[in-house]
Structure 1
Amino acid sequence: MSFIDAGEPSEPPYDDLASKLERMSESACPKWPSIYRVPEHLRQLNANAYTPWHVSIGPYHHNDQKYRVIEEHKVAYMKDLVSRAKIAKKGKVLSYSQKWESYVQEVKEMEPNARKYYAETIELSEEEFAKMLLIDGCFIVEFLCRKIQKLSKVRDEPTRTPIQDNEPPSRHRNFIPMYHFIDGVYKKWEPENDFIFQSTRTSFEVRRDLTLLENQLPYFVLERLFHLTFRAYYLTCEYEPTFSEIVYCAMRTSIPNIAHILSKEEVISETPPQRQRNTVPQANEDIIPMPSEPTCLCTINGRAMHEFRVPNATRLGKAGIHFRKSESPLLEINFDPNKGVLEMPVLIMWHHTETFFRNVMAYELYNHSTDGHKRTVSDYMCFMDDLIDTEEDVKQLVRHGIIQNWLESDNAVADLFNSITKHILANYSSYSDTCKKLNTFCNNAIRKGIAALRQDYFNQPWAIVYFISGVILQTTAAIIQAAFSVKNGK
């Protein structure tokens, strides 16, 4: 049985696969939903940041006529993915129509549990919901693989985007086995004939749509569709990519154990997923049901909230703190009070930065680790909001290489940070020690006086000359005055 016309493309030869796809543990019923609509009070701040531009994924924007143009391309992507699959039963390679039935059966089995990942009651029939899972899920898997194939072809080109500029050449070398695997499957695919990949801008905007909170499928659905398609290829390849690694390579993300692509969308991390570790979420155990408030709005671990608010970058500089760019993941901020050095990794500001961070923070309102009240990205953005009040603070961070600004001005960056954390309650738990050390350093009276002296008198070479000259003149005048006093006394 098939609930849409899959078509019958010319069928390539397939190797025998005498094994059956194992049911994956992610299909276990989630304890709580993890895909929500954006709260209205956040949407009102910037509705565009939470709204798909090209493609709708999942039920929240399903059948919206604004996205009908891309629907036929989603179906085409689905058909191509099914064509690539190598599926055999009892030693016999399945025909295209038989493979199609395998995909249909797969999504029908996933449908009941997949529905429970959504916070709202979805008014779609079982068949309509399964059809949506199949089309949208296959589209995402095929898009990610095509994205990797495109990256493998352009990785040595001199023209780079803000996203690519955040990646040292070694990152691409780490992806070479992935590139070889995907190239073996997609070598006949031609980007110039692909509606989405004809334009770099369109492909980036589709990628952006896949990171929206309201535009998600349960991750286990994508993972099972990926394994159904590519499992047989592992028999003839030395490299066996996991779907987590596919997401990491295509989206430039690291993979924590959460429940959908947005939750795994950590452009903020430079660490690839560890192959030796289990990256499969067990029954979605790290999702909690409702937004959790900070330990207390005025205290953290018994200390006053003001201890965790830090001065802006300009004031920190005047207090004698030196900014230093690091190669660490974006969320890793360290302060050495002995050296007075605040180390921060590079943050690239471009036109999709606000969208990404707004959606991750909205996600963190409802989903985070059960090991406390951590809102990692929200804490980071609130820390940056403390550092940045005006464009002068931005200039300070740009000057030290901590911010790479692709926006129209430094003032635009300041405006973004001054507005993006509105209605976000951070508990600063991720940076409580760093904040306390910074404030202790700044409040040290002796150090503050030395820093002020350095700022006022030693920030320019000519100022040093004037200061020394002034000291010499005053000393000379004092000596002469003392000499005359002695002489007159006689």
Structure 2
Amino acid sequence: MASNSEEHVVTMNWQVNKDRIELMQRKISEPPRLLSKSAGRSGCCIFRAPQSFVDVNGRSYQPRIVSIGPYHRGKPHLEMIQEHKWRFLGTLLQRTEKIGLTLEDYFQTVQTLEMEARECYSEAINLESDEFVEILVLDGCFIIELFRKIGRVVPFEEDDPFISMSWIFPFLLRDFIRLENQIPFFILQRLFELTKMSGEQASLSRIALFFFNHALQRPEEILDKYENLAGKHLLDFLRSSFMTFIPPVTENPPKSPSHVIHSISKLRRAGIKLRPGQEDSFLAIKFRRGVIWMPAITVDDFMAAFLLNCVAYEQCHGECSKHMTTYATLLDYLVNTYKDVEYLSDCNIVENYFGTDSELATLINKLGKDVMFDIDECYLAQVFDEVNQYYNNNWHVTWAGFKYTYFNSPWSFISAMAAFVLLVLSIVQTIYTILAYY
């Protein structure tokens, strides 16, 4: 009787395990609910920021006043600008009605690109076709109409609150480059071409760069070089405009593995100096004869948001180059304390409008936190290798230490000169004594 009972228990346990196996098989066959089929493909380019980045940098990847795309649509704190999107769409329709375009034409144009647009998002967009296309039309027309107004292609209305409330504009600049706040660039391009009036000569790239140049303040001749620049979205587009002047990655990588470089304070003690470079992109860094040449960069709220979102984008996009990540990591290596930021400012490499030197040092250290890149394959691999070779040269370190000890201040220089004069006088006196003797 006992043996039958034990056999029954074993049978029941086996039945429970079988059910669990069947449940596990179903879960294996089910696609992930939060990821679209395009996640991991080269066409996927609009991501949610990784939680590890959010833990470090907070809401840097999320919009503050305007929602672009489906990720943050409908959030209460973004509703204020939503009304102005419809107003901008209305003024655009009034203007294009003269060339026979209707709202239906806008809708149909974007509808043909719907599936391609869905594949750009790393998460499945659980919206009906019409609702998703409406978001792309509304947000896309708002962006290009704002670009046209800021670029003086079309005039603002006299009572437009975007003019009277100037605080809005800096928030729009930053929200348009948030990683989670994007729509595909080809949607913007198609809507721009559809609504382009006769006599309108400026390209979408040109008016987009003019819009962002209110924050970046780059010379006009630089913007002229990007007449046909494109990107996967506005963040990638603006990021690409800094990579045109980057020297190509060396075909002959360093023979020895590259290693991280030391902080500014240690490099200075080894005789390595930092000087402002003359290139148009802050990414174009060089090393020659003991000097790291770094083009100047102005760090303010916009640039801070731009760098943070570029790094997050490069970390999420597997096939994207890691130029911004490499640059951010270099800054993180160089800067340990506010004194390092102070030195960069004194060298006219960093113009700090972000906050105190200590606050900027904290931002720089956050830029390089929890990021991954291959130091031997990055575009600065040769710079890292050359700096380390120079740093590890005993002669350079000895000579730099001598100069630091005896020529770092006027008083140390005077003391060294006095000691040298006494030494010379002693030698002369000894020579005359010997000569007199003989």
DSSP 3-state at the match of 1:143: helix
Paired residue type of 1:449: T
- Among 330, 336, 344, which residue is 2:294 paired with? 344
Structure 1: any 5+ residue segments left out of the alignment? 1-29, 89-93, 150-181, 273-299
2:305 is the alignment partner of 1:355? yes
Larger radius of gyration: 2
Q: 1:224 to 1:431 in 2, by over 3 A?
A: same
2:279 is the alignment partner of 1:323? no
1:1-400 counterparts in 2 under 5 A? 32-85=43-96, 88=99, 94=100, 98-149=101-152, 182=153, 186-187=154-155, 189-190=156-157, 193-230=159-196, 232-233=197-198, 236=199, 240-252=201-213, 257-266=230-239, 269=242, 303-304=256-257, 307-328=258-279, 329-337=281-289, 340-367=290-317, 369=319, 374-400=321-347
| Structure 1 counterpart of 2:348 | 401
- Contact in 1 for aligned 2:45/2:120 (Cα 8 Å): yes
Q: Per-residue displacement from partner, 1:348-386 (whole Å, max 9, x unpaired)?
A: 11123332211111110132657xxx3010000000111
Structure 2: any 5+ residue segments left out of the alignment? 1-40, 214-222, 246-252
Q: 1:31 to 1:364 in 2, by over 3 A?
A: closer
2:419 is the alignment partner of 1:453? no
Q: CA deviation at 1:463?
A: 2.8
Distance 2:307 2:181 in 1: 15
DSSP 3-state at the match of 2:80: helix
Distance 2:167 2:385 in 1: 43
Q: CA deviation at 1:145?
A: 1.6
- TM-score if structure 1 supplies the norm length? 0.71
Distance 1:50 1:31 in 2: 21
Q: Return the structure number with greater helix share.
A: 2
Q: CA deviation at 1:210?
A: 0.8
Distance 2:343 2:42 in 1: 46
- Contact in 1 for aligned 2:57/2:366 (Cα 8 Å): no
Distance 1:425 1:256 in 2: 28
Distance 2:146 2:414 in 1: 63
Distance 1:101 1:323 in 2: 58
Q: 1:119 to 1:87 in 2, by over 3 A?
A: farther
DSSP 3-state at the match of 1:200: coil
- Contact in 2 for aligned 1:348/1:403 (Cα 8 Å): yes
Q: Per-residue displacement from partner, 1:414-459 (whole Å, max 9, x unpaired)?
A: 1111222111012231101111111111222112222111111122
DSSP 3-state at the match of 1:324: strand
Distance 2:334 2:319 in 1: 26
DSSP 3-state at the match of 2:113: helix
Paired residue type of 2:287: F
Q: State the Cα RMSD in Å.
A: 2.7
Q: CA deviation at 1:63?
A: 1.5
Distance 1:398 1:31 in 2: 39
DSSP 3-state at the match of 2:351: strand
Q: Per-residue displacement from partner, 1:286-311 (whole Å, max 9, x unpaired)?
A: xxxxxxxxxxxxxx97744xx33112
Indicate the percent of aligned positions where both proteins have the same amino acid. Answer: 27
Distance 1:424 1:325 in 2: 26
Q: How many residues align?
A: 376
- Among 415, 423, 434, which residue is 1:466 paired with? 415
Distance 1:262 1:211 in 2: 5
Q: Per-residue displacement from partner, 1:91-123 (whole Å, max 9, x unpaired)?
A: xxx2xxx52221122122222221121111111
DSSP 3-state at the match of 1:226: helix
Distance 2:274 2:202 in 1: 39
- TM-score if structure 2 supplies the norm length? 0.79
DSSP 3-state at the match of 2:162: coil
| Structure 1 counterpart of 2:381 | 432
- Contact in 2 for aligned 1:335/1:341 (Cα 8 Å): yes
- Contact in 1 for aligned 2:173/2:302 (Cα 8 Å): no
- Contact in 2 for aligned 1:55/1:206 (Cα 8 Å): yes
Q: Per-residue displacement from partner, 1:185-210 (whole Å, max 9, x unpaired)?
A: x24x24x6222333333111011111
2:395 is the alignment partner of 1:422? no
Q: CA deviation at 1:270?
A: 8.7
Q: CA deviation at 1:86?
A: 6.3
